[in-house]
Amino acid sequence: MLAEFIEALFSIFFIETLINGLLLGGLFALLSLGLNLIFGVIDVVWICYAEIIMLGMYTIFFLHVESGMPFIFAAAAGVAATSLLGWLTHRIVISYLLDAEPINQLLATGGLLFLFQGAAMVVFGIEFRNLGLSLGSLAVSEDIYLSQTRLIAFVISGTVVVVLYQFLSRSYLGTAIRAISQDREIMVLMGVDTKKLYLFTSAIGGGLAGLAAVLLVLQYDVHPFIGLSFGPITFMICVMGGLGNMIGGFLAAFVFSMLISVGGYFAELEWGYVLAFVVFIAIMFARPQGLLARKS
């Protein structure tokens, strides 16, 4: 038994599992980024975040497959569309609830979840739609094959994380986004139009959902309920990292993806998820504030 276990650890497939876990982590990191940004800055949880991603996937699918737009332009249009959707979400719903009870904010964005899902069902139907794009696999060695789409997703996620970090730490606007998360009321004295800054942040958050949509639509079929399959994981990653803490979310994304991959390697893939959720619950008992405590 033990000998088998040790042998399995050094198997080539295990290395492949680790690499796949790493690649999946990149995708998770991107998924959690927008949600964390919005929560960290505006202090509102967008329960409908995964549904915004779903609508982004549909946008890309229809522009590319039905209208024949080259994928790269369809992807850019998808990001623009979700960015607009993020802007509208804040403008039409959240801006009126900034001083409301958190539970009312949750109910409102939860309502948006069903609105987006229902609208997608009515407009697009319930069929699973596939982009039909396959980039194939990359042979790293004789035995290790990596999915090219996952590799691209990883590189894009990494780039986005670095760019966003630079933006937040170096630019006036980025510094203001960090500042407003610490003290909203005082921003007016700095000459900042807080309404505009919130709208801008929401548009960026929406745009990040669009980027996630680009990477997901390359790997998964799109259907109105796809948000349910990764929405909960996205929330758990954010909560595990410390809600609103982007670095914590980044870390938690890799903890989750590794647990899923490694758990899936020793048993069925579903057991990987079970393992990840059990660890999540254990961490919540030990550190309810998340791996890295959320901003004070």
Partner 1 sequence: MLNVKNVNAGYGKFQALFDVSLEVAAGEAVAVIGPNGAGKSTLMRVISGMIPAMTGTIELEGRSVLDAPPHEIVGMGLAHVPEHRRLFHGLTVDENLRMGCFKPQFRARFEERREFVYELFPRMMERRDQVAGTMSGGEQEMCAIARALMSDPRILLMDEPSAGLAPVIVHQVFDLVEQVRSKGLSVLIVEQNVNQVLRVVDRAYILESGSLHSEGTAEELLQSKEIQKSFMGM
Secondary structure letter of residue 222 according to DSSP:
B
Nearer to partner 1 (CB atom), residue 163 or residue 190? 190
Q: Is 123 in the site for partner 1 (CB under 8 A)?
A: no
Pick the stretch among 113-121, 134-142, 173-181, 266-274 that binds partner 1 (CB under 8 A): 173-181
Q: Is 188 in the site for partner 1 (CB under 8 A)?
A: yes
Answer positive or negative: Cα dihedral of 42, 43, 46, 50: positive
Pick the stretch among 30-38, 52-60, 182-190, 254-262 that binds partner 1 (CB under 8 A): 182-190
**Burial of 273 (C-beta count, 10 Å sphere; 0-12/13-18/19+):** middle
What does each C-alpha distance from 3 to 10, 190, 202, 281 come to in angstroms? 11, 65, 53, 31
Question: Smallest distance from the beta carbon of 247 to partner 1, in angstroms?
Answer: 13
Site string for partner 1, 68-107 (x = CB under 8 A): ----------------------------------------
Question: Smallest distance from the beta carbon of 76 to partner 1, in angstroms?
Answer: 28
List 175, 269, 281, 282, residue binding partner 1 (CB under 8 A): 175
Q: ∠ at Cα 105 (103, 108), nearest 5°? A: 110
Query: H helices then E strands: how many in the chain?
Result: 11, 2
Helix, strand or coil, per DSSP, at residue 146: strand
The tokens describing 160, both together, are 């986005």
List 143, 193, 268, 270, residue binding partner 1 (CB under 8 A): 193
List 179, 228, 275, 279, residue binding partner 1 (CB under 8 A): 179
Nearest to 256 by CA among 28, 49, 39: 28
By CB under 8 A, the count of residues binding partner 1 is 19
| 240: amino acid identity, one letter | M
Stated length of the chain: 296
Radius of gyration of the chain (CA): 20
Distance CA 58, CA 225 (A): 12
Nearer to partner 1 (CB atom), residue 11 or residue 182? 182
Distance CA 60, CA 78 (A): 5
Q: Is 192 in the site for partner 1 (CB under 8 A)?
A: yes
List 99, 101, 136, 172, residue binding partner 1 (CB under 8 A): 172
Q: Is 270 in the site for partner 1 (CB under 8 A)?
A: no
Q: Is 182 in the site for partner 1 (CB under 8 A)?
A: yes
Estimate the share of the chain in helix, then strand, then coil, as percent rounded to the nearest 5: 75, 5, 20
- Restricting to residues 276-295, name those near partner 1 by CB under 8 A: 295
Nearer to partner 1 (CB atom), residue 119 or residue 190? 190
List 126, 189, 285, 286, residue binding partner 1 (CB under 8 A): 189
Q: Is 229 in the site for partner 1 (CB under 8 A)?
A: no
Q: Is 166 in the site for partner 1 (CB under 8 A)?
A: no
Are the C-beta atoms of 48 and 167 separated by less than 8 Å?
no
Positions in the binding site for partner 1 (CB under 8 A): 172, 175-176, 178-179, 182-183, 185-194, 295-296
